[in-house]
């Protein structure tokens, strides 16, 4: 069992905030803090109880005696508990996966919005197939059917650019 003494030097920081921690440790939970924003109350990170460094990814740990403290993912390694490191690494991967998923979702939503805007422009153009065009179907109907959002967005941009050119020509 490893004991942590007062004044132990970690990465140039004096380890004195938490003393007498006893292994093994357990992960109580992860707390994701947001970056500091003066407009958002309660935003910003906190400090690692182990080294005092500013952290936004906070891991709440409990030692064998039930003492609770918070550290960054780097300082988890300094506790010398390999089992805990594995657990924290797993949690870190899970959090990264969640963050990626949120980003992907935001991107999907942005694209959906762009797709809807593109359909408004494409509704002014006839369907690419003569039969559907004769049925008064539009290019928007075509893309609503294919659901090819990137292509619809690109085509709408192209149409808008062409319209711009035509407008300029007719003006002069």
Please state the closest distance from residue 99 (CB atom) to Zn ion, in A: 21
Q: How many CA atoms lie within 13 A of 94 on its CB side?
A: 10
In Å, how far are 47, 56, 58, 100, 169 from 38, measured between CA atoms? 18, 16, 20, 25, 50
Q: Which is nearer to Zn ion, 51 or 122 (CB)?
A: 51
Per CB under 5 A, which of residues 76..95 are in contact with Zn ion? none
Q: Which is nearer to Zn ion, 49 or 141 (CB)?
A: 49
Rounded Cα–Cα distance for residues 111 and 25 (Å):
45
Per CB under 5 A, which of residues 88..147 are in contact with Zn ion? none
Site string for Zn ion, 36-75 (x = CB under 5 A): ------------x-xx-x------------------x--x
Q: Strands 57-62 and 26-32, how do they pair? A: antiparallel
Give the footprint of Zn ion on this chain (CB under 5 A): 48, 50-51, 53, 72, 75
């Amino acid at each position: 069992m490893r004991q942590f003494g007062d004044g132990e030097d970690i990465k140039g920081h004096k380890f004195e905030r938490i003393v007498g921690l006893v292994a093994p440790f357990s992960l109580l939970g992860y707390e994701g803090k947001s970056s500091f924003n003066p407009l958002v109350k309660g935003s910003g990170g906190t400090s690692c109880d182990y080294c005092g460094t500013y952290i936004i990814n906070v891991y709440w740990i409990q030692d064998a005696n039930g003492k609770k403290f918070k550290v960054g993912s780097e300082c988890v390694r300094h506790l010398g508990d390999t089992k805990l490191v594995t657990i924290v690494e797993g949690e870190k991967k899970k959090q990264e996966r969640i963050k990626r998923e949120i980003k992907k979702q935001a991107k999907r939503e942005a694209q959906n919005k762009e797709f809807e805007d593109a359909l408004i422009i494409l509704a002014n153009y006839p369907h690419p197939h003569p039969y559907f065009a004769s049925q008064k179907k539009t290019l928007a109907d075509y893309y609503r059917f294919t659901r090819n959002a990137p292509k619809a967005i690109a085509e709408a941009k192209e149409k808008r650019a062409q319209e711009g050119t035509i407008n300029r020509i007719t003006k002069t």
